[in-house]
Amino acid sequence: MSEPLGVAVLGVGHMGADHLRRLGETVGGARVVAVADPDTARAEGAVAGRERVTVHSDALAALDAPGVDAVLVASPEAAHEEALLAACARGLPVLCEKPLTPDSAAALRVVEAEARLGRRLIQVGFMRRFDAEYAALKTLLDSGDLGRPLLLHCVHRNVSSPPHFTSSMLISSSVSHEIDAARWLLGQEITSVTVVRPTPSAHAPAGLLDPQLVLFETAGGAVVDVEVFVNCGFGYEVRCEAVCERGSARIGDAHGMVVHAAGGTREDVARDYVVRFADAYDREVRAWVAAAREGRAVGPSAWDGYAAAAVAEAGVVSLRDGGRVTVDLAGRPALYGGGGGA
């Protein structure tokens, strides 16, 4: 296809608006042809100044708008399943913001629908796989130069949590990124989750169990620990160290300018994921556009979205009840490689 990919964007909230900007500024080869949002005034505003874009209050209507070649789902998670199934029914490639669906049961229905179709259409928005540092780590691990990975040490910190953030969401929303990253980096499914709860920070909202220490064991015998701390107060930090048989590799300490001034040496820390993963989002969408134009699918699959949901659910049980909780995954369809790897 030499013409730009015609994209329908569902949802023009924070992530949707950001993707709209991206499709105009930093991603070539695509053109937004339709947007949908129940708040059509917001949708109109979001595409002001763009030509030949239709605006819809209904997501399915947007899918059927003229010129739509592919769908970017950035609507609230409750609306994902319907949109994903509709895209599958129409054979449209989809980039779906995480989480794939609100729970693993819904995710499994999406997986089954795509599996019946017999070809991948869905890419889930775990953008870290497109981050340069994560990609370098993946390449290094896959090279085998450091031997087999034994442990992953992960840190996931936010300055502060948004309103209404719950203790479970530290796992289902925040740690879901580490779940996908660990499965991808190790190429293994996660088989158990244990959540350990320190006395919460006095700076966390009352009642929020923050921070938490989350442990995963994997099918291949690796162990992953994740510090999740969503009210750390000082910056957005995502780190991952892979400890292998012959060395370790760490990402997330990257920096730019170093200032020497009163108080010592200092380096800035990103304030949020929009800054830290700006390039990853750009590359994610570019990879999706390029693949969609060629009729391929890349990146995290619907299965990855399902597995992340299932692991997170086990984590929420461990958080509530304590102890080690086993993850029981459905059988993996052949479309996603079958067998036991991630």
Binding to a copy of itself (CB under 8 A) within 84-123 occurs at none
48 CB-side CA count, 13 A: 6
The residue from 14, 266, 296, 320 that contacts a copy of itself (CB under 8 A) is: 266
Interface with a copy of itself includes 247 (CB under 8 A)? yes
116 CB-side CA count, 13 A: 8
Phi/psi-derived region of residue 172, left when phi > 0, alpha when psi is between -120 and 50, beta in every other case: alpha
Interface with a copy of itself includes 299 (CB under 8 A)? no
According to CB under 8 A, which residues from 196 to 235 bind a copy of itself? Answer: 196-199, 201-203, 211, 213, 215, 217, 220-223, 225, 227, 229, 232-235
Interface with a copy of itself includes 69 (CB under 8 A)? no
If the CB atoms of residues 111 and 195 are measured against a copy of itself, the closer one turns out to be 195
Interface with a copy of itself includes 178 (CB under 8 A)? no
Interface with a copy of itself includes 262 (CB under 8 A)? yes
Distance of alpha carbon 180 from its chain centroid, rounded? Answer: 7
DSSP designation for 219 = T
Residue 7-46 contact track with a copy of itself, rule CB under 8 A, x = bound: ----------------xxxxxxx-----------------
Residue 97 token pair: 């913001």
Interface with a copy of itself includes 298 (CB under 8 A)? no
Please choose, out of 11-19, 60-68, 192-200, 304-312, the segment that lies near a copy of itself by the rule CB under 8 A: 192-200
If the CB atoms of residues 196 and 335 are measured against a copy of itself, the closer one turns out to be 196
If the CB atoms of residues 29 and 333 are measured against a copy of itself, the closer one turns out to be 29
Using CB atoms within 10 A of its CB, is residue 341 exposed (0-12), middle (13-18) or buried (19+)?
middle
Please choose, out of 64-72, 122-130, 175-183, 194-202, the segment that lies near a copy of itself by the rule CB under 8 A: 194-202
CB atoms within 10 A of CB 73: 28
How many residues form the binding site for a copy of itself (CB under 8 A)?
76
Query: At how many degrees (to 10) do helices 14-25 and 278-293 cross?
Result: 70
Distance of alpha carbon 91 from its chain centroid, rounded? Answer: 23
296's CB contacts (< 8 A; 6+ apart) are none
151's CB contacts (< 8 A; 6+ apart) are 222, 223, 224, 225, 242, 243
Longest dimension (CA), the chain: 63
Rounded distance between C-alpha atoms, residue 11 and residue 17, angstroms: 8
The residue from 78, 89, 254, 334 that contacts a copy of itself (CB under 8 A) is: 254
If the CB atoms of residues 79 and 222 are measured against a copy of itself, the closer one turns out to be 222
Among 56, 111, 121, CA closest to 81: 111
CB of 117 to a copy of itself, least distance (A): 29
CB of 1 to a copy of itself, least distance (A): 9
